[in-house]
Structure 1
């Protein structure tokens, strides 16, 4: 069944009078790619120039009004643990929690200088591509946020200033999960747990619908798999494959049990949309924690 959905550019956030302006980096969907390619019509291609069929639902096939009830129920019944998770992953941009994870894995598994450089470059390159795809879809579909459907909705965190679908945190997490599991397969369980927790944190924050997160994870994982398939074909001048994983499990300390930032930063606390009446809900998680730069 085809559903009508609200457009992000046409409705104000709860607590605001006017619809959003052009938003954060609205043309980032056209930015350069590291691994993926584009054809002359703007379709995304894999590294071998084959067209990628993006595994994500058209928002016309999502019942956002039904999912709004899930967001409302979640916000009305948040546990202290869910609040911690929402605030932790919602602090800063989507890469903020993943970059320290990469560094800890590199240290724990004793990656050499060139291996470490490759891992950092490859994973962040894949994340770059996943975000370019995400931003293309966000502004293509222009899907509204939960607090544009419900003008009384008080979210845990400040609602970011760009369209909702798909969730950038979820896409990045899905992509990072696949990329890091490729390099560190023994840590797959923990890496997947972080990815799932990061994605659902956006529901706890009240700034995304379930489908934003679920479809975002699926899309990110697919992009990661496309890039990993390309990496597996790479070798040095001897024909030796480049990425040999450690066969021993070294139990990397990558899970955040206390949900404290690895790299703290005092983000600006301004927020115009409605948030919960709790001081912690508006600290370090406002729109200033998202990029202000517009290109």
Structure 2
């Protein structure tokens, strides 16, 4: 990659803490996903991405060369040194499975609570997950374009709370898809906007607690995902039947039970695979150590 004034070493230039070899693009998680099909936006050779009407999209995200990654690393180090039990629960909850996993029961509970009819439920599901697909494609295009290293690459002694995924750091996939999901679901369920915002923010922050992302990965990922979400809504609003919009305007508040209190998985599954990068040893709470079984970063994002 040509980078004349790079402000950071590349993801491919440093091993993860506890490993001996640097990651490779070929060995990373889905390095071509940034080229996959999208539904509410289009690929553009000139601009990267464009709207369906051809207008270029200026992505809402900072250039990584404008970021002080070593200052960001200090925040990660401080966070891991002072993790509370609640922060550990949050990190574990949102990291289980792919980032879309925790949004599935949220969407389902909203549809049930508001008694959404079958055709509208299908429309909501397709919009949310189509939008998350597009957000992931944009996120992955940027990850492998910029190749920002993970915190445990800049600090070769950094033990993380969750196993570090095998793909570049910036922006956070969890944050990006959460920003998109928040905005799209708030369009369909405006009365639940505040809770959806809280969930997206917590999902993004969980990656800092896990030690696998810098704070800016999460804040900029949310900003990017929310931008994609707003573009999805632009397209949804164009859909009409007999000259009338498909969506019905409603401000009814039924207080959907979508905020987890116990941080137990709504769809539990036993993800087990050995992690070979350094992990925090915490025998009193979860038995977390470098020999503990964890989610395989090659399988999940």
TM, length-normalised to structure 1:
0.95
Q: Structure 2 residue aligned with 1:19, among 4, 18, 22?
A: 22
Match of 1:203 in 2: 208
> Is 1:287 the equivalent of 2:291?
no
1:283 is displaced (CA, Å) by 5.1
Q: Match for 1:234 among 231, 239, 243?
A: 239
Q: Report the more deviating stretch, 224-233 or 136-145.
A: 224-233
Matched, 1:6 2:16: no
Corresponding residue number in structure 1 for 2:115: 110
Q: Judging changes above 3 Å, is the alpha-carbon distance between structure 1 residues 73 and 167 closer, same or farther for their aligned structure 2 residues? A: same
Matching of residues 1-295 of structure 1 within 5 Å: 4-22=7-25, 23-41=28-46, 43-236=48-241, 238-278=242-282, 280=286, 281=288, 282=292, 284-287=294-297, 290=300
Cα distance in 2, alignment partners of residues 139 and 34 from structure 1:
21
Structure 1 unmatched ranges of 5 or more: none
1-structure distance, mates of 2:299, 2:94: 11
SS in structure 1 at match of 2:129: helix
Count of residues in correspondence between the two structures: 289
Please report how far the alpha carbon of residue 21 of structure 1 lies from its aligned counterpart in structure 2 after TM superposition. Answer: 2.8
How far is the alpha carbon of 1:100 from its aligned partner? 1.1
Q: 1:184 to 1:284 in 2, by over 3 A?
A: farther
- Please identify runs of 4+ aligned residues in structure 1 that moved more than 4 A: none
Q: Compute the displacement of 1:284 (Å).
A: 4.8
Distance 1:103 1:154 in 2: 36
Q: Is the 8 A contact 2:275 2:294 kept in 1?
A: no
289 and 79 in structure 1: CA distance in 2 versus 1, 3 angstrom threshold: farther
Q: Secondary structure at the match of 1:16?
A: coil
Kept after mapping to 1: 8 A contact 2:89/2:263: yes
Separation (CA, whole Å) in 1 of partners of 2:73 and 2:47: 32
Cα distance in 1 for partners of 2:293, 2:108 equals 26
- CA–CA distance in 1 between the matches of 2:13 and 2:226? 31
Structure 1 residues 55-77: Cα deviation after superposition (integer angstroms, max 9, x where no partner) = 10110000010111100000000
Structure 2 residue runs of 5 or longer lacking an equivalent are none
